[in-house]
Amino acid sequence: MYFPEKEVKLKDGRVAVLRSAKPEDAADCLEYLRVTATETPFLLREAEENDMTLEMEKAFLQARLEDPKSLMLIASVDGAYAGNCGLVSFGNKLRVRHRCGMGIALYQKFCNNGLGRILIENVVEVARELGFEQMELEVVVGNDRARHVYESLGFVPYGVRPHALKYKDGTYADEILMVKTL
């Protein structure tokens, strides 16, 4: 869905611009996926596993824009791509259409400045307006900053998925499942 440009103020006083991603953002999105995968162990893929071509990413972003129940909200600071927060539905089947999922990641240099909280607050508001009743997410054990933000926004843990991630060195990480009533 379309989200018009909106300016928000960060903790350090800088302004971030939020808006829905467009096909023209494809190259920035691919670079973001590659770099953020190297910056944190808390995302689902390795850097070399981003195998979307530019054309595929453009089509993906166009589809997100046209899907009335989905949002890819991107943020830029001083003209630079800072990160994004995505809202996805669980589909149109009667028994699950009240549920949505959320995912977020920022470039490391834009973390800890209030942007993550603001992005999630905006996506929660959109989800409410779309009629979703609950928002669900997973957070890797040890990702204390993300967990703090989620809990302070009303997400509640309801379970643990053991060995959800397996790293290249053979170690595992569990995920905490969280839900927020909208």
Ligand X SMILES: CC(C)(COP(=O)(O)OP(=O)(O)OC[C@H]1O[C@@H](n2cnc3c(N)ncnc32)[C@H](O)[C@@H]1OP(=O)(O)O)[C@@H](O)C(=O)NCCC(=O)NCCS
Nearer to ligand X, 139 or 165 (CB): 139
Number of CB atoms found within 10 A of residue 169's CB: 5
Among 100, 143, 165, 178, binds ligand X (CB under 6 A): 143
Residues 98-137 as x/- pattern, contact with ligand X by CB under 6 A = ------xxx----xxxxxxx--------------------
Nearest approach, Cβ of residue 117 and ligand X (Å):
3
Nearest approach, Cβ of residue 143 and ligand X (Å):
5
**Contact between 8 and ligand X (CB under 6 A)?**
no
Among 9, 98, 109, 145, binds ligand X (CB under 6 A): 145
**Contact between 73 and ligand X (CB under 6 A)?**
no
Nearer to ligand X, 19 or 117 (CB): 117
Count CA within 13 A, CB hemisphere, residue 38. Answer: 7
Can you give the binding site for ligand X, defined by CB under 6 A?
40, 42, 83, 104-106, 111-117, 139, 143-146, 148-149, 152
